[in-house]
Structures are given as structure tokens and as C-alpha cells.
Chain A
């Protein structure tokens, strides 16, 4: 590896002053603005989670009143969903690396990109504004189910407006990526030569663009009902609460794939790099992303099997739900096969990617249980569901996010972190995470409903185990973040291509210059992961 010693100006130093960051049109700086904001909200959301686990340590009151607890879990959900996990990978790593992976100098619409970030900030201010304005943060759960959300005196209107504004941020990011992928691929790079992270962002962006407007209109309808008394969802003024649930999940189920698909893209980048061989089944992985995005639109009804659904509707939604499992399992098998006959460097990013597979399997397989009609009647709205989606969201997307952070850290900052500390933080995080969430699956099978401030004595044991897990989890997160923070400031200089990757971002300097590439990047021959040093299979 040759470290280019010629002096150049990194994107960090290309311009100076706070304004050059807040109004930057550089996709890399926008990505970092997102990163810092998103990590801040992640820590706020995690703190709220810790408070919930403390409250649930014993039955009865531990630290807060029921009303406060209800506000805490609502704010935890709103922050984690709308301010952390939906934007997380696309807005941070998509923004930073999509143009680099495609060999271009920016996204298609840099100003729109900056505008998306500012919408994110405005949305975040609305969400946080509920803390000080009106009668406090909403106490409805992040789902804002009517008619309770129409009647409660808490500041639902403002929370809903926050989600509405954040929705636009998401739509515009999706639009930007679709155009970027169609128009700005470096010459010679066809769709089938794109790295798989770009494919997963492409699938995700279509969902963001097409599904998000549905939640926008739904949330406006809540506002119309609360402010003007228009009877849409509240039956006492002529509305239909089940209609709300349909409209909510028509967006919010596809949104699950907005959260999961980019994470799968990250894993598809990390595994070939550390196995030093080509990905197994490139087309199968690429097209399965599109299949997941497509089928994902038609499964929302599985959130409503106990909401008075007719037999045929339940039948159809259940079978469609099971069909989504197929492209997902195809991906898992292809990742596994990519390790076969690799020459594997066991490094922190790979560990996160493999832990993603393990956690995501538990999340996905418990999802199958929820898709089965009979089992779902028992487990719907219990802790089983809470365990299931935390395995998918945190164990899956969260782990992929941290994997991506460790993978691209040397590229973004040009520094290397302390690998021993990173591996230790990873190991304790994986253990803590499982101690935190696996008990929830057991509690659900035992019959403990979710959103419970207080619980029956027989649920005490597993709740206490789970709370202990939350302490291990949060301690590991602190070590992980501090390690990276220290490295960004004082870490050893990293080479331009520390992992011997062959996707285009590794051909430029670390940190990249403002225009990304000094010279035209070379597309690897025979596909984006066709490692020249590996033997060919035939």
C-alpha cells in the first residue's frame, strides 16, 4: 500500500468556520452533521430506555409515576424511530459514501441535501419542544393510535408535526439518492457493477419516496381532528379508529425496511472486504433488496390481526408476510457463502457484520412467529414483539451502523482507532444486548403485555435480568463511542486503504479531498468485489 505523501487539502480543512459547516454543500460534511446529531439523539433515546428499564426493575413504582413513564416510552420511540434509526445509515453513510462508491463528486442535488438536514433539525426541535411547551410530551406511544391520541391533553399535535417534518427530510434524501444513482455513476459503471450498499440505498430510497407521504397525510389528519374537531378517527365524532391503524401501518411497515435494507447493504460491503474475495450471489443479493422493498408494501395488515380483521384479509396478509422472509433468507445464505474459501481478516467491522447476522436472525425468526396468525393472536402487543423489533432494529440496524462506523472510520477521519478497545466494546455490547432483549421474548411468551408501567409478580425475574443487560449495553456503548472520539482526535494516522478494499472509496485519500477523487477512480474488472489477488473458482 502506498501512502501518498503529496500534500492536499482534506474536506475537513477545505473551508473554515462554523458557517462553512452549517451551510455546507459538501455531501461529506452534511453526512457528518447528521452523524453528530443522530448520535446525540441516540444517546438521549438510550437514556430514556435506561430510565424505563430502571422503572421496570421491581413491580410497582420504582422511580417515576405512570403518566411520566408513558411519556418516556413515547419519547423513546419517537426519538429512536424518527430521529435515529430511519435517518441513521442512509443519512450518514449513504450521504458520505454513496458518491464515493459511485466514483462521483457529490449527490445529484447538494442544496436539497442541505435542506433535508435542516428539515431534520426543525423536526427534531419540534420533538424536543414538547418537553417544554404545552402539557408535556405525548403519552400515546410512538404509534399515536386514535382515539386516545385525539383525546389526551398532552402535546400530541407538536409530536405529530415533528414526525411530519422529519418525513419530508426522509422523502428528499430518498429522491436525491435515486437521481444520484441513476445519473451520477462513474463512466463504465452499470447498475450491475454498483456496490451492494448502493443497491440497498436504491431500494430504500424508493420506499422513502413512495411510502412516507402516507404517514404525512395521516399525521395531518390527527392534527385536523385535534385542532378543528374533524371526525376522522375518533368514533365519538364520526371517525373510525381502525382506519387510522391501516393508514399508519401502510407507511410504518415499509418504514421497517427503510431501517433494515441499508443495514443489509452495509453487511454486503463489509463481508467481501474482510473475506478478500468476491461476494457470493451478487445479483441474488441486489435483486432481493428490490423484492423486499416491493413485497414490504403489502404486509402492513399483520400489525392488525387482533383489530377485528376478516378471515380472508388475515389469510392474505399472513401469507404475504411469510413471503418477505424468503428474499431475506436468500441474503443470509449468500453472506454465509461469501465467507467460504475467503482469506478472512478478523477485524472489528467484520465482527459487527457477523453479529448483525446473528441478531437479525433472531429478529427475523421471531418475526415469523408474529406472522403466523394463531401465534400472533397470543403474542401481539406483548413483550415478545418488543424483543422482536429491538433485535431487528438495534441488534440488526444498530449493529450494522456501528459496523459501518468502524469500517469507514479510517476513511472519514484518516485515523485508526484502538482495535483492542473496539473489540472489547463489541464483545460486551453483544453480550449486554442479548441479556437486555432475550428476556423480553420470554416475557412475551409468558403473556406480559407491552407498554406496561407495572406488572404481575411472576414477570419480575426476567425483567430484572433485562435491566441488568441494559447496564452492560450502555456501558459498552460509552466505551465504543469514547474510543472513536479519542481516535478521531489523537488516533494514529491510517493508510488510505487499511482493509485492502477494492470498492472505489478506498482509491482516494483519507480523509478525502473536497472533490472526492484527484484522478478518475478505476472500476475493478469483473464486478465490484472481484478481488484481483484471489484465485478464480474455475
Chain B
């Protein structure tokens, strides 16, 4: 059994072409080497001018034409079913942002990894919060670009129990190669149980919940180490050199600064870090104050 319903079509199209390719590569190379020895100057001191042959030209135009049309056809046959998801597919929203995948289920459950029931068509509605990404599941032979401002989707059926890698295939900046997740295919009852599990955020600081949701920790650590942006450790009260309109100034980070920075992310940039990457997040004033509250506790 194949891992997804598309593996067979994709692999057939791939290996059909590869087989023909190997045949021609080996054949042409062998003939080339044979001619090189058979007609080398020592063995064949006088060449023959052969201007061409329309018969041969027609043969080696028609044969490749038939072959490439077959290649096209198997490519199309394997691809066509990817275009339309069945009506009864279970819809899940897949959100890509620098550099994190989030999967939102209809019942409000949200997860960093995808969990799906076996043998059920799944439709992923793809949303990008910032730049291009591409949701790629090599084991399923499937990928689809996630483009901001476009409602793209992809669908598939997981046919084999197990856990498979999800990668980002469209370059999306500094930590592109770390934008990893996974899809786990489970039995139906196990899936229902997993889906019904309450996400227990009640003990969690609401600021932390918001920051996880907005992928703050993709770029900012809490242990003082350097990632894409400055660490949150001890950030409140810290003095930083920032660059505003190409001019350096030194400021002390406080609640007002964080609020201003969240609302106008590109207004300034901490010296020594790449500019232009901090996204504008749709946060209410109250959410911002939760975040500031939480950040103040990271010491």
C-alpha cells in the first residue's frame, strides 16, 4: 500500500521517463564510443561526406515525438486527480509563516503537527501570513505553494499508518530549512480521540499562548542565545542600540517601546540584526499588554 493516493501516479510518471532516459543515455553513449574507435583516423584514414538523410531525420523526429507525448500523458494522468478534492474531504486550515506550520481544525483545535485519520480524503486550505512557502510531503509525493493573498488548497488520502515529514519547499528566508513539521496518519478512533482532547491552556500565561500562536519563538529565544532577532531574555529594561532612518540611537526597552514596535514593526531595527523581517501582527491593545506582561517575566 502506498503512503498516499498520489504516490502511484507520480512514481509511474517519474520512473517511466527515467527508464526511457536511461535507455537513450546508455544507447547514445555506447554508439558514440563505438564510432569513436571504429572510425578513428588510424582505422579509417579517409572520411566520407554524408550530407544527411531525410528518412533518418523523419524517424528521429517522429519517434521522440511519440515518446514525449506518452511522457506528457502519464504526467497528466498522475496530476489530474490532484486538481479537485472530493466534496466529502475533511477540511483543515494549514498556516505557513516564517518559520512554522500551524494546522487549525474545524473544532477550534490547533496543532504544530498534522494528524489525520487513515483512508479519509483531507483537504488543506493553505494560508500564508507573510511570504511564499510550499507545503511538501515527500512521502506523499505532493507539494503546493502557500502564497499570501491567495486561497490555494491541496488534498490527499493518507493510506498507511505512520509519521511522515512535512518540509517547506519554497525558499522563505533565514530559517527556511528549519520550517519542518510532520503528518501522522492514525486509525479513525484514535484520530477522534486526539481531536477531542482539550488543549489545556488554562494554566498558561495568556501572553505565552499568544506568542506561541504568532510564532514569536521562531526568531527570538528565551535563553539569551542569538537567533534571527534579539533574545527575549532580560529584554525589558535592557539598553539596545537601534537604527531609525539610518541613524543609530540607544534606548532602554520598555512597555511603550515594545508596543510601538509591535504596531510598527519596520520603524526601527536593533543594530546587528537583519532588518525587514519582523511581521506586523494583528493584535489588539489587550493582547499586546498580555504579551508585554509575559515578556517581562523572561529574565
Residues of A within 8 A of B (CB): 66-67, 70, 135, 139-141, 145, 147-148, 151-154, 235-236, 240-242, 275-278, 280-284, 306-308, 311, 314-315, 318-319, 322-323, 325-326, 329-330, 332-334, 336-337, 339-346, 354, 357-358, 361-362, 365-366, 368-369, 371-382, 445-447, 449-456, 527, 530-531, 533-537
Contact = CB atoms under 8 A, between A and B. Distances in A.
Contacts of A372: 13-14, 17, 71-72, 74-75, 78
A30 to B, nearest CB: 36
B93 to A, nearest CB: 16
A531 B49 contact: yes
Given A135-B275, A336-B35, A343-B46, 9 more contacts: A147-B131, A235-B149, A282-B51, A282-B52, A306-B134, A341-B48, A343-B39, A378-B141, A380-B169
Contacts of B32: 336, 339, 354, 357-358
B47 A342 contact: yes
B39 A341 contact: yes
Contacts of A527: 51
B173 A70 contact: yes
Nearest to B165: A456
Contacts of B41: 276, 343-345
26 contacts: A135-B274, A147-B130, A152-B276, A154-B276, A235-B147, A235-B148, A276-B41, A323-B68, A330-B64, A339-B39, A341-B39, A341-B50, A344-B35, A369-B21, A372-B13, A372-B14, A372-B72, A373-B79, A374-B74, A374-B77, A375-B17, A376-B75, A378-B138, A378-B141, A447-B136, A449-B136
Contacts of B134: 306, 381
Contacts of A140: 171
Contact of B47 (A66, A276, A329, A354): A276
Interface in B141-190: 141-145, 147-150, 152, 165, 167-178
Output the residue of B75, B167, B173, B178 with the most chain A CB within 10 A: B75
B119 to A, nearest CB: 21
A310 B77 CA distance: 15
Contact of B79 (A66, A336, A340, A377): A377
Contacts of A306: 134, 143-145, 169
A350 to B, nearest CB: 9
A450 B138 CA distance: 13
Given A148-B172, A534-B49, A373 B76 contact: yes
Contacts of A445: 14
B49 A537 contact: yes
Q: For B36, B134, B177, which residue has the most chain A Cβ atoms within 10 angstroms? A: B177
B74 A343 contact: no
B167 A277 contact: no
Contact of A139 (B65, B144, B174): B174
A449 B168 contact: yes
B25 interface: yes
Given A308-B152, A346-B36, A278 B64 contact: no
**Residues of B in contact with A, size category:** 35 or more
Contact of A453 (B17, B39, B72, B177): B177
Point out which of A240, A336, A343, A451 has the most chain B C-beta atoms below 10 A from its C-beta: A343
B173 A342 contact: no
Contact of A531 (B6, B47, B167, B277): B47
A449 B50 contact: no
Q: In the complex, which of the residues B24, B46, B275 has the most CB atoms of chain A within 10 Å of its own CB atom?
A: B46
A283 B139 CA distance: 47
A315 B41 CA distance: 49
B274 A152 contact: yes
B28 interface: yes
Given A277-B48, A343-B46, A148 B274 contact: no
Interface in B249-280: 269, 274-277, 280
B48 A534 contact: yes
B9 interface: yes
B51 A278 contact: yes
A110 B29 CA distance: 42
B171 A535 contact: no
B61 interface: yes
B57 interface: yes
B252 to A, nearest CB: 24
B64 A275 contact: no
Given A342-B44, A377-B10, A284 B52 contact: yes
